[in-house]
């Protein structure tokens, strides 16, 4: 697939051939869904906790004797039907994480990248640099590249792109991340994907 390479002003400067094994891969919708569900499940902390009748303090003594009172027999004032008693069928700490083989996760990424490229949602730039780390400059560049769309910006490394990280920090519809942290959720959530040619080499190093 041949795509245009732009500069930060939104002007075409060259063309580049995208690797077909990444950006023209077979699209597996079920695999993309499984990878998305896994990522969202792995984000859940699972730290919610409620107390059962054995964990609530008190309730060691029977409230009244078994027979002769005319009332229903009771074993503890911390039973679930008592005020202040334990809870039944309520949440407890658990691990929500799901396992997924690396080959399947990477196949899902290739599918998502292929969809993004086919829908013209991929924008390549020759280099991602700003004159100074100003949000205004970042907004102007993104508007020239993607218009009003939400955008995921990939960078090959932090050292050479500190100005981009700082300039995009406060933008609600933009996110900057390292190319080797690319994930299925961000690919699906953001409308456009912007990255320099150097980030393409990072992606190809583990998806190619």
Contact call for residues 32 and 183 (beta carbons, < 8 A): no
Contact call for residues 203 and 116 (beta carbons, < 8 A): no
pLDDT tens digits, 53-107: 999 999 999 999 999 999 999 999 999 999 999 999 999 999 999 999 999 999 9
What per-residue confidence (pLDDT) applies to 208? Answer: 84
Contact call for residues 153 and 190 (beta carbons, < 8 A): no
Query: If pLDDT is split at 50, 70 and 90, which confidence band does 160 have?
Result: confident
Q: Tell me the CATH number for domain 2-45+99-207.
A: 3.40.1370.10
Domain ranges of the chain: 2-45+99-207, 50-90
Contact call for residues 121 and 162 (beta carbons, < 8 A): no
Token pair, residue 9, equals 């002003």
What is the reported pTM? 0.83
């Amino acid at each position: 697939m041949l795509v245009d390479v732009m500069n930060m002003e939104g002007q075409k400067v060259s063309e580049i051939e995208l690797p077909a094994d990444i950006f023209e891969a077979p699209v597996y919708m079920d695999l993309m869904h499984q990878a998305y569900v896994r990522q969202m499940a792995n984000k859940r902390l699972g730290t919610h906790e409620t107390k059962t009748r054995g964990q609530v303090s008190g309730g060691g003594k029977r409230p009244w004797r078994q027979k002769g009172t005319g009332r229903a027999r009771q074993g503890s004032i911390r039973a679930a039907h008592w005020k202040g008693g334990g809870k039944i069928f309520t949440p407890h700490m658990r691990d929500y994480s799901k396992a997924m083989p690396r080959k399947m996760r990477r196949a899902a990424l290739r599918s998502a990248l292929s969809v993004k490229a086919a829908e013209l949602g991929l924008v390549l730039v020759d280099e991602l640099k700003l004159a100074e780390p100003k949000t205004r400059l970042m907004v102007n560049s993104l508007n020239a590249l993607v218009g009003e769309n939400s955008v995921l910006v990939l960078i090959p490394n932090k050292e050479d792109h500190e100005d981009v990280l700082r300039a995009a920090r406060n933008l609600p519809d933009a996110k900057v991340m390292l190319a080797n942290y690319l994930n299925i959720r961000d690919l699906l959530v953001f409308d456009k994907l912007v990255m320099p040619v150097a980030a393409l080499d990072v992606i190809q190093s583990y998806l190619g």
